[in-house]
Structure 1
Amino acid sequence: MTASNERTAAPPESASPGKAAASHHRPGAVLAVIVGCQLMIGVDSSVVTIALPEVKQGLGMSTGGLAWVQNAYMLAFGGLLLLGGRAGDVFGRRRAFTAGIALFTAASLLGGLAGTGWWLIAARAGQGVAAAVAAPSAMALIAQHFTGRARVRALSVFSAVAGAGAAVGMVAGGMLTEAGSWRWVFFVNIPLGLVLLPAAARVLAETPRRPGRFDLGGAAASTAGLTALVYALIRAGSDGWGDRRALAAFGAAAVLLAAFVLTERRARQPVMPLWLLTGRDRAASYLAQLLLTAGMYGAFFFLTQYLQQVLHYGPLRAGAAFLPMVGMQFAVVRLAPRLMARAGARPLVVAGALLLATGLLWLSRLSPGDGYAAGLLVPFLLMGAGGGLAIMPLNAAILGSVRPEHAGAASGVAQTMLWTGGSVGSAAMVTAYGAAASGHGIAPGMDAAFATGAVFAAGALAVAVLVLRVPR
């Protein structure tokens, strides 16, 4: 990160001086609150996955309904993140951060109490809306409270939690489901939220309010467009590419996403300023984030299915199987700031994308006779190392390319790319699985799904090699 970027990353002078000064005496507490919120958000992207068989039995849901338990969260989250970033700018980032935590805690309580499938899906969507409010302010608050090398270290911890949150959710989901009930994957958020709310009010400095408008039309068009695209991909995987509903959904997605771009070009205060996508390095970083998470999140879903359906693991054992990935990711991300200081961001992104692509390609060659040690352990380690190397330098490149007043919007777009990549990538891998498994069984479908994930990771590698040029 250049010296000029460090100067522009300083906290705004108009921020509350007393609270800002106090927070800098407790940087560990500041980071703990921000990372605690990000952990809660990241874990909930996957904590339900291992519990889905129990949810299906408890609520009598269909397989299609179970898919929407996962997609409702990711689509609401990814689709409304940009609006959440605007909320932080208009109302103050600490206010938006705490409001998101409060709403997330309430939605988690409703999810744990769900008596029907639709109730549960609505609660998951509520969690996604809450996460969309809190998450952009979480990353922007790091830009506000930390500068220079301290910011790089803080981003390394934040990126470790963001990258490993889904894998941690697998472990936690298995433990909670095995120990009690699937409802505990929701109830566990309540005490964490009750701790984070007063802590955030004590240690985080508020940012000044910036009067503005909410681009509700742009937010609605982007969310509806992404929902239509994911539905179309899932429908095509189950009913074929000639299915009329799938084709209609693809058409609707194209129209809605085009309307989103036109709305943003004309809006006085767009939810996603299109200039954020114009800088070469920033645009490349956004695209690489989308492609990396497209491969990773789809892989998590299918790895869970492989562990439980092919290797016949129970929920606890299936969750524990992800521990090597989590451990590797945390270990690597602790080294990433020092490696980036010596080599720059680009080599780390290249290495991370290459490791992730290799791990996914390895998984695409699995055979039913492969056990955990022979078939899964090395890919888990490769994927953990790849995610740990790549995500933090991309976040640092994005935040380092904008002034502090644009940090909320820039971080909102960054996380939109992460969660949009996760939902679209998962849907694409489900489509590939359905096409290959039809009439041939689970194994060919799994191979096709993981190969699709490897293509996404290879795309991120190509972007890093051919486009990204972040200065050291």
Structure 2
Amino acid sequence: MQKPHPIRTFVITGIALFMVALDNLIVTNALPEIRVDLDTGLEGLEWTVNAYTLTFAVLLLPASAIADRYGRRRLFIGGLAVFTLASAGAALAPGIGTLIAARAVQGAGGAVVLPLTLTLLAAAVPPARRGVAIAAWSTMSGLGVALGPVLGGAITEYAAWQWIFWINVPVGAVLLALAPGFLTESRGAARRLDAPGTLLVTGGLLGVVLGLVRGNEHGWTSGQVLGSIVLGAVLLAAFVGYELRAREPMLPMRLFRARGFAVVNAVMLAMGAGMFGATFLLVQFLQGVNHMSPLETGIRTLPWTAMPILVAPLTAPLIARLGVRAVLTLALASQAAGLAWLASVISPDVTYGALVPAFVLAGTGMGLFFPPAARSALGFAPPEMAGVASGVSNAARQLGTVFGIAVLGAVFSARGGFTSPQAFTDGLLPALWIAAGLIAAAALATLAIPAHLPVQGEAVSAPAPAPTKARR
């Protein structure tokens, strides 16, 4: 078998990771242009973001199982091809429905590519250099998230919003040409694909989010909205029941018997909902009310979006001195304070200078949050389930984004709209206060996390159930 080459592997996986991470936020500064060009409203914009995030979150765990069974390089190349083709489809979209469909397919491709970038890289690097490789991997991801709004704004302003998707096509084509020769095939322990669990959780989440997004337009007690939310809740309950009994579940429920793991993932969900739901509306405020151009919006939000890259190196010494729980509490309190600051100063004629301290505070909190959250998610899970635990925490944050955009979008629609700067501000204010309150509640919830991570090998979840008699 061909020996993996660390540098070549990093080139392919690093660029692919950057491209997928970029697409999480690159679309945000293009949303006002998309709204006008495709003649859509808030619901269409919500689905432009949520279609990508929802499929990405739901398919993260099953994608890893498929890759372990059929080959990681093979699935990586397949996911990259899907992502690239869907990017072209999004660029060519003649209407909002086609754009949403293409974004959903893009999310499916991204869900395959992103976890495999780390798996392939870790397998190619000697154990002694693995820490350096993972740090480089994290840097590529952080750069993609930080530069997404700036690049999206620049492309939208100087070309057209379609080019935020077109740029993926040549990059993806080059990676597809190089990947077969640069990457080495590998497999993990063959695991059964949990198709029923995947279908149940996808249908359940889709039903709940669809109801939340359409509630204001069609009425919260209408059969369409109420039926969608109820059906989604029933499917999610069925998913939990099925996973408790499945032989090889996509989401092993015994992980949540560890209090630390359960609370950390709940906090991850709340953080994604509050922070990224608020970002979705704030970007449109800066362009629609403050009359910033797309590029100007991207640059002026850098005190928020780029702060995590600057703050991340401080997390290791802080965790060593204070512990993961204290750093998580501090991170969430900073984010909540930043959003509350924004809510207290936002008005149709607010100056940019009044927003900068809040941006810095919220960005600092984000930078302090992710390293201890990831460390806790892995630390409170059994070592043999580290891969699944990492996938669950990533999925929780992505699902939080979906629900945050849906819920805060509903609050915005109920109290305001796009008709005037004052109407937009009237809708934005309560949404910001709700986001701040949600993250403040998450900060309080961190106090339930055990003060210290378990020692390696120590049991972190309830004992496995006693073996039952084999069935004939």
TM-score by length of 2: 0.86
Aligned equivalent of 1:378, options 353, 357, 367: 357
Q: Which moved more, 1:231-240 or 1:123-132?
A: 231-240
Counterpart Cα distance in 2 of 1:109 and 1:268:
39
Amino acid at match of 2:157: E
Q: Deviations over 1:356-380 (max 9, x none)?
A: 1111111111222311111x21121
Where relative contact order (Cα < 8 A, 6+ residues apart) is larger, the structure is: 1
Mapping for residues 182-201 of structure 1, pairs under 5 Å: 182-197=161-176, 201=180
2:335 counterpart of 1:356: yes
- CA drift of 1:145 comes to 5.8
Which residue of 2 is the match for residue 329 of structure 1? 308
Output the CA distance in 2 between the equivalents of 1:203 and 1:469.
43
The equivalences for 1:430-469 within 5 A come to 430-437=409-416, 441-469=423-451
Answer whether contact 1:108 1:123 (CA < 8 A) is retained: yes
The residue number in structure 1 matching 2:234 is 255
Percent sequence identity over aligned pairs:
36
C-alpha distance in structure 1 between counterparts of 2:436 and 2:43, whole Å = 25
Please tell me whether residue 48 in structure 1 is matched to residue 27 in structure 2. Answer: yes
How far did 1:108 drift?
0.8
**CA deviations over 1:415-440 (Å, ceiling 9, x no partner):** 21111010001111112222332798
2:149 pairs, out of 170, 173, 183, with 170
1:410 to 380, 389, 407: 389
Query: What is the deviation of 1:63?
Result: 4.2
Alignment counterpart, residue 471 of structure 1, candidates 436, 441, 453: 453
Match of 2:103 among 124, 131, 135: 124
1:80 matched to which residue of 2?
59
Q: Per the alignment, in what secondary structure is the counterpart of residue 234 of structure 1?
A: helix
Give the letter aligned to residue 453 of structure 1.
A
Deviates more, 1:359-368 or 1:81-90: 81-90
Distance, in Å, in 2 between the alignment partners of 1:327 and 1:166 is: 8
Q: Which runs of 5+ in 2 are unaligned?
A: 455-472
Please tell me whether the aligned partners of residues 27 and 152 of structure 2 are also in contact (alpha carbons under 8 angstroms): yes
**1:203 Cα deviation from its structure 2 partner:** 5.8
Range with bigger deviation, 311-320 or 336-345: 336-345
RMSD: 2.8
Query: Within 2, Cα distance between the matches of 1:208 and 1:359?
Result: 44
408, 416, 440: which one pairs with 1:429? 408
1:240-272 per-residue CA deviation (whole Å, 9 max, x = no partner) reads 433332221221111010111122122222111
Q: Pick from 13, 18, 35: which aligns with 2:3?
A: 18
In 1: Cα distance, 2:128 partner to 2:377 partner: 16
Q: Deviations over 1:150-209 (max 9, x none)?
A: 656655555565567455322221111111111101011123323444665566554434
Change (3 A) 1:285 1:207: farther
Instruction: Find out whether 1:181 has 2:166 as its counterpart.
Output: no
Range that drifts further, 241-250 or 388-397: 241-250
Conserved 8 A contact 1:349-1:393: yes
Deviations 1:356-407 (A, max 9, x none): 1111111111222311111x21121112111111111211232345567534
Describe the SS at the equivalent of 2:408. helix
Where 2:190 maps in the other structure, the secondary structure is coil
Displacement of 1:307 after TM fit?
0.2
Q: 1:235 to 1:115 in 2, by over 3 A?
A: closer
Amino acid at match of 1:91: Y
Whether 2:292 is the aligned partner of 1:313: answer yes
Write the deviation string for residues 252-310 of structure 1: whole angstroms up to 9, x where unpaired: 11101011112212222211121232222222222221111111211211111110121
- Report the Cα offset of residue 458 of structure 1: 1.4
Deviation at 1:230, TM superposition (A): 1.2
Residues 1:391 and 2:370 aligned together: yes
Letter paired with 2:234: V
Question: Counterpart in 2 of 1:7?
Answer: none
Structure-2 separation of matches of 1:117 and 1:323: 29
Q: Counterpart amino acid of 2:351?
A: G
Shift of the 84–215 alpha-carbon distance from structure 1 to 2, 3 Å rule, reads same
Decide whether the 8 Å contact of 2:312 with 2:368 is kept in 1.
Answer: yes
Note the C-alpha offset of 1:214: 1.4
2:174 and 2:287 mapped to 1: Cα distance?
A: 34
Q: Decide which moves more: 241-250 or 263-272.
A: 241-250
What do the CA deviations read for 1:16-42 (whole angstroms, capped 9, x no partner)? 7832xx42xx4xx65554443333223
Which residue pairs with 1:98 in the alignment?
77
- 266-275 or 460-469, which deviates more: 460-469
Q: Indicate conservation of the 8 Å contact 2:32/2:287, yes or no.
A: no
Aligned counterparts of 1:442 and 1:149: Cα–Cα separation in 2? 53
Which residue of structure 1 lines up, in the alignment, with residue 467 of structure 2? none
* Residue type of the alignment partner of 1:410: A
* 1:216–1:232 Cα change, 3 Å: same
Residues 155 and 395 in structure 1, CA contact (< 8 A), matched pair in contact too: no
Shift of 1:55: 2.6
Residue 233 (structure 1) shift: 1.5
Alpha-carbon distance, 1:130 to partner: 0.6
* AA at the equivalent of 2:353: A
Q: Distance in 1 between matches of 2:361 and 2:423?
A: 27
Query: Residue 202 of structure 2 aligns with which residue?
Result: 223
1:205 & 1:345 partners in 2: Cα distance? 36
Shift of 1:413: 1.2
Q: Secondary structure at the match of 1:18?
A: coil
Give the aligned residue type for 2:323: G
